[in-house]
Amino acid sequence: METLALLMTGFAVASSPMNLALAALGAVVGTMVGVLPGLGPVNAVAMLVPVVFALGLPPESSMILMAAIYIGSEYGGRISAILINVPGEASAVMTALEGYPLSRQGLAGVALSLSAWTSFLGSVLATVGIVLAAPVLSRWALAFGPVEYVALMIFAFACLTGLLSDQPIKALLATGIGLALSTIGIDANSGVMRYTFDMPNLIDGLAFSTLVIGLFAISELLILLQSHRDGVSVKIERMGRNLFNFKEMRFTLPSALRGAGIGFFIGLLPGAGGTVASALAYSTERKITERRDPEGSRFGKGDLRGLATVEAANNSASNSNFIPMLTLGIPSSGTTAIMLGVLTLYNLTPGPMLFTSQPELIWGLIASLFIGNVMLLAMNIPLVGLFARMLSVPAWVLVPFIVVVSAVGVYSGKSASFDLILMVVVGAAAYWLRRMHVPMAPLILGFVLGGILETNLRRALSLSAGEVQILWSSPIAIALWGAAAAILLLPRLLRRALPAEARLSED
Amino acid sequence: MSSNRSLGAMALLMAGILAVFGWGLVAPFAYEPVGPRAFPMLTAVLIAFCGIVLLIGGGNDTEAVSRRTMTGIVMLTVTLLIYAVIFERLGYVPSTFLMSGIVARIFGASWIQATLSGAVLSVGSYLLFDRGLDVVLPAGILGGLF
């Protein structure tokens, strides 16, 4: 009952005119960015970090805006996957697998509307899950001291390296680079300058928004140029019938529900997120179908059930991602890591305490997920044709525009040329790393969590006067260390369960 | 050298930089058992470990890009770098006009398209951000005009 009252407070926050307008704006912008080939939720959220700050929004409003952009670009990502077979990000690869053949058969409209519906279903079910699970988990998380936090963060890094990438060593390297970058600047405990090289601009450390934009926006432009020059031209299929019918809905409902369930639990794991969830849901569904109904299976040639389950799983996981981020302060994807970084810019320490100290923020965000999803469904079914037209915007219009938004955003933070130059340098370095298949999500997670990890590590060792044994002195900590070890071994087993297409490193 | 080897070498170089410049990080007064040096050193060890594994493992999984693409990448990076440098000195509108025009050309626009889109984007975004959203942008050499 208490939860219900809190949820009502959340709805009151989320339905203030400004927050409603922000959610709608975020949904539109998110979908538009998501549609653009190559740009996914991470890029969309990253570009808007400084803009959110320039607008001077209160924390709950900026979280609502970013969440709407995040969820919106998940909706948008499927449009380019289905229409032109170009998944905007790794988690849409499975969508393209079934969706593109459908649109080749003249069923693009059906595929788009059905995937919007199952996305909605997955999102809403996961948000209900957040409402039920988050308060319980946050109460449990209050028992966490510095020792448990250290173990938890090691577990999160283990998840990221183990689950996300087919080359764990590169994910580990990315984590290390992120951790190293987080040490730049003045050390709060001792006042010692670390790696500032006498540059006054580095005393406060690397600016979060500069780093994020360099990593995700600027490097993306270089990748875009690579695919623009080496890629093939785009041809959009005809829409055909605009809406799925009742029979198709009933036919795909069990698949969508299964996908939503798988997505929810995968999304809980730090580091897993939409890519793993959609891949796992797809292969599960394919196995179930081929066993029960081998004749009717059209998997690989455009099966509505495959599309339904993938979209439900993907969106369910992106929503349940919020649970570890909100309750433990451990983001499970690049996008939630960025949102967490934004919270710290507001001087809010992410974690279980937020539930008691900032109930408006937490419950406003959760309520806005419901509202945002309804808006997205209402928008996506009638307006899909309009969004699809974004695909024909030529790159020479788009790219300068992205540069301008990025540069203005970075400049507005500190008004320094230094940060603009840093943005380009980071972008070029990130492009080089991404070409080597070094994933970016662990890097940003390492950067965001590096400070918290170091503080907790030093606090724990202060408690024990330097004895390292304290790090595995509590049952929770031991369990987390064990889980971290298990997860590093798990991918070898998972790899056999996942189809080859899933083995993309997410960036 | 394979791509994984060069990545590993870069990682070792980075670990070396972290270690060399981090070794002297000692607090003048230590209140706690772990000072400011330990964490950077742990990070350096982690990065060095990855570097060694990559160096030994080798392998190559970077897809080749054509020479034309590579020139494009370099041109785009240099353009953005110049943009960052002239942003404040020249002012927002002229620097954005130049950047936008060149970037549009790199992405295949004609001269007319590049000029027109550059003009619209630079002036339009200046009005939107500086006038509309109160983000202060450098006026630069066109200071008197707007």
Q: Kindly tell me the burial class for residue A487, based on how many C-beta atoms sit within 10 Å of its own C-beta (0-12, 13-18, 19 or more).
A: buried
Interface of A with B in 209-248 (CB under 8 A): 218, 221-222, 225-226, 228-230
Q: What angle do CA A147, A161, A194 make, to 5 degrees?
A: 60
Model pLDDT for residues A8-61, shown as the tens digit of each residue: 888 888 888 999 999 999 998 888 888 877 677 888 888 878 777 777 788 889
pLDDT band at A207, cuts 50/70/90? Answer: confident
Q: Does B139 touch chain A (CB under 8 A)?
A: no
In angstroms, rounded to a whole number, what is the distance separating the alpha carbons of residues A118 and A114? 6
Question: A193 - beta bridge partners?
Answer: A186
- The answer to whether A452 and A343 have CB atoms below 8 angstroms apart is no
pLDDT at residue A504 greater than cutoff 50: no
Three-class DSSP category at A193: strand
Task: Give the alpha-carbon dihedral of A207, A209, A210, A214, to 10 degrees.
Answer: 140
Q: Does B118 touch chain A (CB under 8 A)?
A: yes
Distance of CA A94 to the CA centre of its chain: 17
Picking from A94, A139, A401, the residue whose alpha carbon sits closest to that of residue A266 is A94
Q: How far is CA A388 from CA A68, A75, A239, A383, in A?
A: 19, 12, 10, 9
pLDDT at B1: 56
ipTM above 0.90, yes or no: yes
H helices of chain B, in order, are 3-22, 38-57, 67-90, 92-106, 111-126
Quick one: tokens of B91?
């002012």
Interface of A with B in 334-393 (CB under 8 A): none
- Residue A256 exposure: Cα atoms within 13 Å on the Cβ side: 24
H helices of A389-416, in order, are 395-414
Question: A185 - beta bridge partners?
Answer: A194
Mutation to test the A interface, candidates B78, B129, B134, B136, most A Cβ within 10 Å: B129
- CA-derived radius of gyration, chain B: 23
Is A415's CB within 8 Å of B61's CB? no
| pLDDT, mean over chain A | 82
Average pLDDT value for residue range A387-413: 82
Percentage of the residues of chain A whose pLDDT score is greater than 90 = 10
Three-class DSSP category at A186: strand
A19: closest CA of chain B, how far (Å) = 18
Q: What is the DSSP letter of A336?
A: H
Neighbours of A355 (CB within 10 A): 21
pLDDT band at A216, cuts 50/70/90? Answer: confident
Distance of CA A497 to the CA centre of its chain: 23
Q: What angle do CA B23, B29, B33 make, to 5 degrees?
A: 70
Q: Does B55 touch chain A (CB under 8 A)?
A: no
Three-class DSSP category at A231: coil
